[in-house]
Amino acid sequence: MTEEPQMIDVRLGRIVIQDGLAHQYIYLNEEDGRRGFPIVIGNNEADEIHRVVHEEEPPRPLTHRLCYETIQALGAEIKRIDIVDLRDNTFFAHLVLQDKNGETTAVIDARPSDAIALALRARCPLRVAAHVMAAAVSDDDKSGSGEAE
């Protein structure tokens, strides 16, 4: 039996969007601490996170909203997002879904950017594995990590 790693509650600290760059940054900060680290994400996901934070809703459903509404239409909810690993400068996240009774129904592999965009819409908890936090904080002192596409 695999023991669940220690998880740390985090929140989105800030989004840095610079026009003309191929990638953008978001920062995750500990809820109960002073540590934090950046994640390099794509423009599309950065734009979506910016829209959700600023409650800007385009007239037509864009892709993340379609994904969110599909989950709801199938009677499920997003329970939480876990960032579970950091390998070769790439973060790995899980989208944890639950049914109406709060039972976990599915755990889906996702890029952190997509997972966080959905989490902000769902207003659900966001957690980072303790070993990922330690490695990401250490990496940030060097060059930073992102998510491969």
Residues 76-135 that bind a second copy (CB under 8 A): 76, 90, 95, 97, 105-106, 108-111, 114
In this structure, are strands 77-87 and 126-129 parallel, antiparallel, or unpaired?
parallel
Using CA atoms, how far apart are residues 116 and 10, in angstroms rounded to an integer?
11
Nearest-approach distance from CB 143 to a second copy, in angstroms: 19
Report CA dihedral (47, 36, 9, 25) to the nearest 10 degrees: 10
Task: Between 8 and 41, name the residue whose CB sits nearer to a second copy.
Answer: 41
Minimum distance of a second copy from residue 30's CB (angstroms): 25
Mark 40-79 with x for binding to a second copy (rule: CB under 8 A) and - for no binding: ----xx------------xxxxxxx-xx-xxx-xxxx---
Tokens of 79: 């329970």
By beta-carbon proximity to a second copy, the closer residue of 29 and 44 is 44
C-alpha Rg value of the chain to the nearest Å? 15
